[in-house]
Amino acid sequence: MWLSVLLLGAFLLSGPVRGSDGSASTAITCFTRGLDLRKGTEDVLCPANCPLWQFYVFGDGVYASLSSVCGAAIHSGVITNTGGAVKVQTLPGQESYPAVNANGIQSQVLSRWASSFSVTAGAKNAALEAVGRSVSTARPSTGKRPKKTLDKKAGNKDCKADIAFLIDGSYNIGQRRFNLQKNFVGKVAVMLGIGTEGPHVGVVQASEHPKIEFYLKNFTATKEVLFAIKELGFRGGNSNTGKALKYTAQKFFSLENGARKGIPKIIVVFLDGWPSDDLEEAGIVAREFGVNVFIVSVAKPTTEELGMVQDIGFVDKAVCRNNGFFSYQMPTWFGTTKYVKPLVQKLCSHEQMLCSKTCYNSVNIGFLIDGSSSIGEINFRLMLEFVSNVAKAFEISDIGSKVAAVQFTYNQRKEFGFTDHVTKEKVLSAIHNIQYMSGGTATGDAISFTTRTVFGPVKDGPNKNFLIVLTDGQSYDDVTGPAAAAKKAGITVFSVGVAWAPLDDLKEMASEPRESHTFFTREFTGLEQMVPDIIRGICKDYLDSKQ
């Protein structure tokens, strides 16, 4: 019957409904997001009896556009769960969306999103009551929460993640609470929807010495995982959580042990009380390995116990990012069922897994663009389009990939550096606004300038560095020495030649193997066809560097 609700909602979204005052409102489903609406201001109708526990809402007052419109409207108090008319106003994106619990909905933290919306009370609509009755009638009458149909073997494809549960096996938790912890982890595993194409999980036990109980590759069915968790034995010893976290980040997520390329890596640390060692260094190591760390703390230290804690800020120092999303607190191991779903929601919110390192979010790409007279304004614009198309493929942010651009003739002009623009929109705008210089061609000097002034400030950063040299002709100076120096500085060089660019120079500039790092096209229009190969080349080099 729940399927009929969704189908009804999809049908209602197809057209406006006119109210008694003649105004037109679009009937939407419970799960229509702000980004699904196309108008700057739009009147919509939310149905009745939406399942509050399934809402995804980010922010308070101003909501990220990936939030449910109806969820935001209930959260803000514009409507109740009996449905109602809502006016949605599209707003610019913002830097920080807070987490606030209001009207039965817990909104979530989001550090940044490209667009937002606000909600206010909409015009009254005579059709609303009928819509609410239809949806209410279509829902099950048992009061049970509807279950999403899931291919048990494939698992929940919307929650692809490789997850290590780092459980507390120390004397601090004791045998009884250890068993309660296992029950909770089992419930989380069930709700995740483990399967071949969904989340994969493994377990590591923290005690005096960490022990990997089972790897990601060992079990891909929920029933098998539950049995393995049930069979875990209590180890005892000190709660050396930092030691276990560092060990898990370094040893657990190898391809041999079942980790998958391009899938978010997550460690969920269960901590009863407080750690007996340092978590800060372990958190740094985890970030270096591209792992998203979640701390689930149970039974926080009391005021009397705080004196025994080495560092009261251990949670913030261990998690992937100190923004509230990666920490989760439970008061006790008793009655934890209600905490399962909110934790699973976090683990499946992959758009917020900002510390998963992939080739798309962990590279610095510098573009060295020939602005010589032989190119001309029209062809120069084609070069900028090529640059934009490559940049679009990457996840540009303050902690993700970064892009810089230098234009050169006899002289060099840094158009923008890696830290000047930290959103994709601003980078693409900056590329579009580059003005053609015109002049001679001194590619060697330009490579040296870019290595020194653009890559120099980020040479010790976490991202892998790439330089794409784009030129249409013979350089008036030597390119071999400057290119060798760039490669020695850890920069992977791709050379892209057009028209009269000599192949020997292109190969001298390119990294090894030169055949796969050298590109040439006779016409500027051919640059477009190279974009996928350049992107694949960057990703291949990135993955090879991590093996």
Tell whether 184 and 322 lie within a shared domain: yes
| Angle, alpha carbons 85-120-105 (nearest 5°) | 85
Same domain, 245 and 381: no
Q: Which of 138, 166, 184 is the last residue of a domain?
A: 138
**Full-model pTM:** 0.47
Tell me, yes or no, whether 172 and 298 share the same domain.
Answer: yes
**Do 119 and 183 fall within a single domain?**
no
Is residue 147 assigned to a domain?
no
- What is the rounded average pLDDT for all residues in the chain? 84
Predicted local distance difference test score (pLDDT) of residue 9: 35
DSSP per-residue codes, 454-489: TSGGGTTSSSEEEEEEEESS--SS--HHHHHHHHHT
Q: How far is residue 224's CA from residue 118's CA, in Å, rounded to a whole number?
A: 45
Q: Are 378 and 369 in contact (CB under 8 A)?
A: no
98 phi, psi to nearest 5 deg = -80, 165
Report the number of distinct structural domains present in the chain. 3
Structure tokens given for 135: 């949806």
Q: How far apart are CA 237 and CA 118, in angstroms?
A: 52
Q: Are residues 522 and 396 in the same domain?
A: yes
Element at 214 (helix H, strand E): strand 211-214
Candidates 38, 41, 15; CA nearest to 28 is 15
Do 165 and 103 share a domain, yes or no?
no
Q: Using alpha carbons only, give the angle 432, 434, 437 rounded to the nearest 5 degrees.
A: 145
Residues 411 and 454 in one domain: yes
219: in domain: yes
- Letter for the amino acid at 90? T
Lookup result for tokens 């509230």: 324
Tens-digit pLDDT string for the chain (547 aa): 333 333 333 333 434 444 434 456 788 888 788 888 888 899 999 998 887 766 778 899 999 888 899 999 999 999 988 889 999 999 988 888 888 888 888 888 777 787 899 999 886 543 333 333 333 333 333 334 344 445 667 888 888 899 999 999 988 888 999 999 999 999 999 999 999 889 999 999 998 899 999 999 999 889 999 999 999 999 888 888 889 999 999 999 988 999 987 788 999 999 887 666 778 888 888 877 888 999 898 876 555 555 555 556 667 777 877 777 888 888 888 888 899 999 998 898 876 776 776 778 889 999 999 999 999 999 999 999 999 999 998 888 877 899 999 999 999 999 999 999 988 999 999 999 999 999 999 999 999 999 999 999 998 888 999 999 999 999 999 999 999 999 999 999 999 999 999 999 999 999 999 999 999 999 999 999 999 899 989 988 987 786 5
Q: Is the dihedral angle over the CA atoms 479, 481, 487, 489 positive or is it negative?
A: negative
358: in domain: no
User: What domain range is 539 assigned to?
Assistant: 363-546
Q: Is residue 150 part of a domain?
A: no
Q: What are the two backbone dihedrals, phi and then psi, of residue 496, each rounded to the nearest 5 degrees?
A: -125, 115
Give the Cβ contact number of residue 138 at 10 Å: 18
Q: How far is CA 67 from CA 3, 18, 37, 113, in A?
A: 21, 26, 12, 11
Nearest to 116 by CA among 230, 37, 175: 37
CB atoms within 10 A of CB 528: 13
In a domain, 112, yes or no: yes
Shared domain check, 429 and 341 = no
331 in helix, strand or coil? coil
Query: Are 81 and 219 part of one and the same domain?
Result: no
Question: Positive or negative CA dihedral for 500, 502, 505, 511?
Answer: positive
Enter the tokens of residue 252: 């657990």
Task: Output the domain CATH number for residue 542.
Answer: 3.40.50.410
Tell me: the pLDDT tens digits for 70-96? 999 999 999 988 889 999 999 988 888
* Tokens, residue 527: 């640059």
User: Which region, left, alpha or beta, applies to residue 22 given φ > 0 means left and ψ of -120 to 50 means alpha?
Assistant: left
